[in-house]
């Protein structure tokens, strides 16, 4: 019986260690954004809880202009990125993303899921539209794929 108890303790300890390690990954941090000091202001659009209504209006204006630019280039927009806005670069960096102004991060598990992190005072329509274009590109190229292996070189993705 003691051997069985020791095995259970070891397995439970290993599970705790694995959960702690996983909780520090970008994917888990971004997937649990609503529990990290952000609230959803529209479908897939999150804003830092410390931001005021003026900031929220700025976010909606940026999104509207960026979507118009995206539709002008791609035609129909198929992607549904999760976009996270904050006025604090430091707070965004706690999500394991070194953000200067904006960053797109895509995870592929059968369907591309793109997270775009945006630091409000440091971004504009050009930057946001660029990151949203990554989401659109990734949605189209990675659809149905189950690998995070890049299908195109980075220079093409950024081009």
Q: Rounded to two decimals, what is the model's pTM?
A: 0.79
What are the angstrom distances between the C-alpha of 108 and each of 58, 78, 151? 30, 16, 11
| Nearest Cα to Cα of residue 54 among 41, 43, 69, 44 | 41
Other beta carbons within 10 angstroms of residue 123's beta carbon come to: 20
Query: What pLDDT was estimated at residue 109?
Result: 61
Phi-psi region of 115 (alpha: psi -120 to 50; beta: other; left: phi over 0): beta
First to last CA, the chain: 63
φ/ψ of 95, rounded to 5, equals: -90, 20
Nearest partner of 82 among 126, 135, 150, judged by Cα: 135
Q: Is the pLDDT of residue 144 over 70?
A: no
Asked whether the predicted pLDDT for residue 30 surpasses 70, the reply is yes
Please compute Rg for the chain using Cα positions.
19
The four Cα atoms 29, 49, 106, 69 give a dihedral, to 10 degrees, of: 180
pLDDT, position 100: 64
Helix (H, G, I), strand (E, B) or coil at 158: helix
Give the Cα-Cα-Cα angle 36, 48, 121 (nearest 5 degrees): 135
Looking at the predicted structure, is the pLDDT value of residue 110 above 70?
no
pLDDT of residue 17: 85
Q: Is the pLDDT of residue 105 over 80?
A: no
Q: Which residues pair with 106 in a beta bridge?
A: 114
- DSSP SS3 for 116: strand
């Amino acid at each position: 019986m003691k051997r069985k108890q020791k095995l259970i303790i070891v397995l439970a300890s290993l599970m705790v260690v694995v959960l702690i390690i996983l909780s520090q990954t970008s994917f888990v941090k971004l997937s649990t954004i609503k529990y990290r000091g952000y609230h959803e202001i529209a479908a897939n659009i999150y804003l830092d809880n410390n931001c005021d209504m003026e900031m929220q209006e700025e976010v909606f204006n940026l999104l509207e202009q960026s979507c118009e630019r995206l539709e002008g280039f791609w035609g129909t927009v198929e992607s549904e990125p999760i976009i996270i806005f904050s006025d604090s670069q430091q707070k965004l960096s706690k999500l394991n993303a070194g953000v200067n102004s904006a960053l797109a991060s895509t995870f592929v598990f059968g369907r591309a899921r793109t997270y775009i992190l945006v630091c409000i005072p440091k971004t504009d329509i050009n930057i946001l539209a660029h990151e949203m274009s990554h989401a659109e590109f990734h949605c189209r190229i990675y659809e149905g794929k189950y690998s995070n292996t890049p299908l195109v070189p980075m220079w093409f993705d950024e081009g």
